Amino acid sequence: MNKKLLWVAMPLLAITLVLAVGYIVNSLTLNVGVEEPFTVRYAVIGDAGTYTTGNCSDETLNWFTSDSTSIPTGNFYPMESRAVCVEITNAGEVAIPYTINSIVTNDNENNDCANAFGLPETLTGSASNGINYNGKIIQISANATPVTGCNVVISVARG
């Protein structure tokens, strides 16, 4: 008895499924992609002593692109400081959140480089359409251990 009901119900169920899908009148295919909206440049303000003047939005600064292998800054003495500037140009029409990270990629077993520069460090913000600036003053601690060859890598990530 149940098998007879099943054979009657199956065609009705199949017809219902076909009608529920809908009738496509027309369709459109979009061929799209995603472009990188950010162009990033870096600058270091100050060459000795304590950083006191300067502005990250100053276009006369010596700007470097991310294609540069390294920015020559020279060595610091304890309590000296520099301003590290990041310029983000957003080609997009909406504000996009970003994160700036700085880490030491080569350090000794005592972490002398990271301790001297106070790393790792993270800055966040939102880049509106056009040119946006962010940065940080890096000051060497008074009790920093003398060390050479520290590689501080600064990276910008979207999102």
Rounded (to 5) percent helix, strand, coil in the chain: 15, 35, 50
Question: Does an H or E element contain 88, and which?
Answer: strand 81-90
User: What confidence score (pLDDT) does residue 1 get?
Assistant: 58
Question: What is the three-class DSSP state of 111?
Answer: coil
Q: φ, ψ for residue 17 (rounded to 5)? A: -65, -40
| CATH 2.40.128 is held by the domain 38-158 | no
The rounded Cα 154 to chain-centroid distance in angstroms is 10
Measured CA to CA, the distance from residue 8 to residue 155 in angstroms comes to 66
Per-residue pLDDT of the chain (159 residues; tens, 9 = 90+): 577 777 777 777 777 766 666 677 888 999 999 999 999 999 888 776 777 666 888 888 888 887 766 776 778 888 888 888 999 999 999 999 999 998 888 888 888 888 888 878 899 999 999 999 998 888 888 889 998 888 888 899 998
Residue ranges per structural domain of the chain: 38-158
* Per-residue tokens: 152: 């501080």
CA-based nearest residue to 84, from 106, 114, 56 = 56
Antiparallel, parallel or unpaired: β 96-106 and 64-65: unpaired
Measured CA to CA, the distance from residue 98 to residue 156 in angstroms comes to 7
Torsional class of 74: left (φ above 0), alpha (ψ -120 to 50), beta (otherwise) = left
Cα 67 to Cα 13, 41, 59, 101: the distances in Å are 63, 9, 19, 17
Compute, in degrees rounded to 10, the torsion defined by CA atoms 143, 145, 150, 155: -30
